[in-house]
């Protein structure tokens, strides 16, 4: 509930005006049965058309004023609810951006997307309905009961018995449904995860003819969501029939008592009609309240899930006034570094130590899962080491501010990611102040200038995920995005995998000749990608087993020699 109070503070005035206008509308609605009663008891018996017309005019004024009050309340409640959701979504997105890679891995992308979309929409709907109905419905219910006592106290005892009983039922259903709707949202996470995985991997699924298996798996999680939703819906649906049964039983009892009292002369026909109208008002408002309870239950369940994300405090913090780099010291230095991704998992890296000077070219090679990407993820501090220390220009990476560390390091990730927009937009992510001349220079160094011009230049469109570019083209654009930054440390995480041998050779020559002479770290699974480096680190099972130049490693490292031999087709892997 803290989320609702925190994010509605900004819309305090609207949150007050909306229910006030709704209560004003409700007050007019409560006066209508009294006017109708007077028409029946005073106007009709006396055939006083003037009185009847006057009363009809009063009803018309009530209706017009009620309409104005209702529209005004709807406006304020909608504005407060939309503003609440918008602010909450922005803050939640910002908070997610502060979480470390390990925290994002733990929560899962699908769950975070659900929090930002479905859960916030449920909370927004709950706020909107609450501002409109939370005060209005109880006000009408209790107001109708009070007005009924002013009409005929004995007959109104029926209301006094029915309303508390209905309140108990509504409260009980609310307590039961809240955890059920949280379970529904958890099942929605699984469905969203399945959709995301299948859409991202649709080519793989088709290539291996796995459509039927994935459809079957998706059908399974969808049935789980269906079952959870159906169970929660069945419990919630109890409210409407129970409300109808109790209120209609009250109507029957009211008409019976009213008929007896009219026959005895203790009550007028208009009073019976007025009481009946108050009964209908109570029925309608209790049905609204029942639906409100369901929506609020779902909104609270969504809000609690959102609160769990806010409760996840960033486990990786940066000093505001961090250290300054000492460019006379090694660009990167690892001292007995270990890394473990989970508390109960084994070490992904063990006792890693090496030094890399600025201007050098360092190669990292090894089989899949040997720890290559893990070791370079520690340099820009995507993850924190669980043992040992990582230094960048003589300072522990934990001593740098986030801004300074970003300025020192440029990374080309293993998966080339482009965002929707233009080529210029994507390149400027590396340096938003870069000129077109600098962008074109970076594109030339990345061997991307020619094909970008063929597609329309820097303003050529880039679809979401770079779907309108080939894998090699995307890799070259992401390399250009890293180069535009001109950081003293450039990390290429298997960034040549989609390139042909000639393009890779030409790009490597361009990178090795960069005028600002950065430390270049190249991660590769092929010796061709690292053979020209000044020093090559061979990784096996999270450890450095050998280091040296290409020619040295061919003599001293069986693992490196084997990788080199298999590339040339001199050995078969069984």
Element (H, E) at 91: helix 49-98
Cα 389 to Cα 145: distance, rounded to the nearest angstrom = 73
Tell me how far apart the alpha carbons of residues 549 and 360 are, in angstroms, rounded to a whole number: 12
User: What is the pLDDT of the chain when averaged over all its residues?
Assistant: 86
Q: At what angle do helices 239-263 and 269-311 cross, to 10 degrees?
A: 160
pTM: 0.73
d(CA 487, CA 495): 17
Per DSSP, the three-state class of 566 is helix
Q: Which long-range contacts (CB under 8 A, 24 or more apart) does 512-517 make?
A: 512/361, 514/445, 514/483, 514/490, 516/486, 516/488, 517/358, 517/359
CA-nearest of 136, 159, 221 to 187 is 221
- pLDDT exceeds 90 at position 334: yes
pLDDT confidence of residue 572:
37
pLDDT of residue 573: 35
First to last CA, the chain: 60
pLDDT score at 574: 29
What is the C-alpha separation between 424 and 481, in angstroms, rounded? 9
Please report how the helices 239-263 and 211-237 are oriented relative to each other, as an axis angle in degrees rounded to 10.
20
Reported as a single tens digit per residue, the pLDDT across 272-294 is 888 888 877 887 787 787 778 77
pLDDT beyond 50 at 406: yes
3-state secondary structure of 553: helix
Residue 19 has pLDDT above 70, yes or no: yes
Q: What is the chain's Cα-based Rg?
A: 35
Reported confidence tier of residue 571, pLDDT bands at 50, 70, 90? very low
User: Per-residue pLDDT tens for 412-470?
Assistant: 988 888 888 999 999 999 898 999 999 999 999 999 999 999 888 899 998 888 888 88
Specify the pLDDT at position 357.
Answer: 94
What's the pLDDT tens digit per position in 76-114? 999 999 999 999 999 999 999 888 888 888 888 878 888
Number of CB atoms found within 10 A of residue 452's CB:
24
Nearest-angstrom CA–CA distance, 156 and 545: 89
Which range (244-258, 342-356, 388-402) has the least confidence?
A: 244-258
* pLDDT > 70? residue 318: yes
Asked if 390 and 409 count as a contact pair (C-beta separation under 8 A), the reply is: no
Distance CA 90, CA 104 (A): 17
Structure-model confidence comparison of residues 158 and 486, the more confident one: 486
At 197-256, the pLDDT tens digits run 787 777 788 878 888 888 888 888 889 888 888 888 888 777 778 777 877 787 788 788
C-alpha dist (Å) from residue 445 to 395, 449, 450, 479, 521: 30, 8, 11, 9, 17
Q: What percent of the chain has pLDDT over 90?
A: 35
Report the pLDDT value the prediction gives residue 569, as an integer from 0 to 100: 53
Which long-range contacts does 504-510 make (Cβ < 8 Å, 24+ apart)? 504/528, 504/529, 506/447, 507/445, 507/446, 507/447, 507/476, 507/479, 508/532, 510/444, 510/445, 510/446, 510/447
Q: What's residue 568's pLDDT? A: 64
Distance from the Cα of residue 131 to its chain's centroid: 25
- Mean pLDDT value across residues 559-568: 85
- Judged against a pLDDT cut of 80, whether residue 377 lies above it is answered with yes
Place of tokens 């043992």: 387
Helix, strand, coil share (%) of the chain residues, nearest 5: 65, 10, 25
pLDDT digits (tens, 9 = 90+) for 131-153: 988 888 888 888 888 888 888 77
Tell me the mean pLDDT in the region 488-503. 88
The angle subtended at Cα 566 by Cα 562 and Cα 572, nearest 5°, is 105
Percent of the chain whose predicted confidence (pLDDT) is above 70: 98
Question: Is residue 185 over pLDDT 80?
Answer: no
**Is residue 400 within 8 Å of residue 487, measured between CB atoms?**
no
Handedness of CA 195, 197, 203, 205 (dihedral sign): negative
């Amino acid at each position: 509930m803290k989320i609702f109070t925190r994010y509605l503070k900004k819309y305090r005035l609207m949150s007050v005006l909306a229910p006030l206008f709704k209560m004003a509308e409700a007050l007019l609605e409560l006066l209508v049965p009294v006017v109708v009663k007077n028409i029946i008891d005073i106007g009709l018996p006396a055939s006083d058309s003037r009185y009847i017309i006057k009363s009809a005019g009063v009803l018309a004024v009530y209706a017009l004023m009620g309409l104005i009050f209702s529209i005004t309340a709807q406006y304020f409640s909608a504005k407060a609810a939309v503003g609440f959701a918008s602010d909450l979504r922005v803050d939640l997105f910002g908070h997610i951006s502060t979480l470390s890679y390990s925290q994002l891995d733990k929560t899962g992308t699908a769950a975070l997307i659900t929090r930002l979309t479905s859960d916030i929409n449920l909370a927004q709907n709950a706020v909107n309905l609450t501002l409109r109905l939370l005060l209005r419905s109880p006000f009408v219910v209790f107001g109708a009961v009070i007005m009924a006592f002013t009409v005929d106290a004995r007959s109104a005892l029926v209301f006094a018995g029915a309303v508390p009983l209905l309140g108990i039922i509504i409260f009980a259903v609310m307590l039961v449904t809240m955890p059920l709707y949280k379970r529904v949202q958890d099942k929605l996470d699984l469905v969203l995860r399945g959709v995301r995985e299948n859409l991202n991997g649709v080519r793989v699924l088709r290539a291996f003819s796995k459509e039927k298996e994935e459809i079957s798996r998706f059908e399974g999680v969808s049935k789980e969501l269906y079952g959870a939703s159906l169970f929660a819906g069945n419990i919630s649906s109890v409210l409407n029939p129970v409300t109808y049964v109790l209120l209609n039983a009250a109507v029957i009892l009211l008409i019976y008592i009213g008929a007896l009292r009219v026959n005895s002369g203790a009550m007028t026909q208009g009073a019976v009609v007025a009481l009946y109208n108050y009964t209908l008002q109570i029925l309608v408002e209790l049905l609204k309240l029942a639906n409100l309870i369901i929506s609020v239950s779902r909104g609270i369940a969504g809000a609690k899930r959102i609160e769990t994300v806010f409760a996840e405090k960033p486990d990786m913090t940066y000093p505001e006034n961090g250290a300054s780099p000492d460019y006379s010291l090694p660009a990167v230095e690892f001292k007995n570094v270990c890394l473990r991704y989970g508390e109960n998992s084994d070490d992904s890296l063990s006792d890693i130590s090496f030094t890399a000077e600025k201007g050098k070219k360092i190669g990292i090679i090894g089989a899949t899962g040997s720890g290559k990407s893990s070791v370079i993820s520690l340099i820009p501090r995507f993850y924190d080491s669980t043992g040992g220390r990582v230094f960048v220009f003589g300072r522990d990476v934990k001593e740098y501010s986030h801004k300074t560390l970003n300025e020192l390091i440029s990374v080309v990730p293993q998966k080339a990611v482009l965002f929707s927009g233009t080529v210029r937009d994507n390149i400027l992510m590396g340096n938003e102040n870069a000129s077109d001349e600098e962008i074109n220079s970076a594109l030339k160094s990345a061997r991307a200038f020619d094909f970008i011009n063929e597609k329309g230049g820097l303003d050529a469109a880039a679809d979401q995920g770079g779907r309108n570019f080939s894998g090699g083209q995307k890799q070259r654009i992401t390399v250009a995005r890293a180069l535009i930054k001109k950081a003293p440390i450039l990390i290429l995480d298997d960034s040549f995998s989609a390139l042909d041998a000639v393009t890779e050779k030409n790009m490597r020559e361009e990178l090795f000749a960069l005028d600002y002479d950065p430390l270049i770290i190249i991660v590769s699974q092929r010796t061709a990608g690292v053979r020209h480096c000044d020093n090559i680190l061979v990784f096996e099972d999270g450890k450095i087993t050998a280091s040296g130049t290409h020619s040295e490693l061919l003599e001293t490292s069986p693992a490196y020699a084997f990788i080199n031999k298999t590339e040339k087709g001199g050995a078969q892997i069984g």
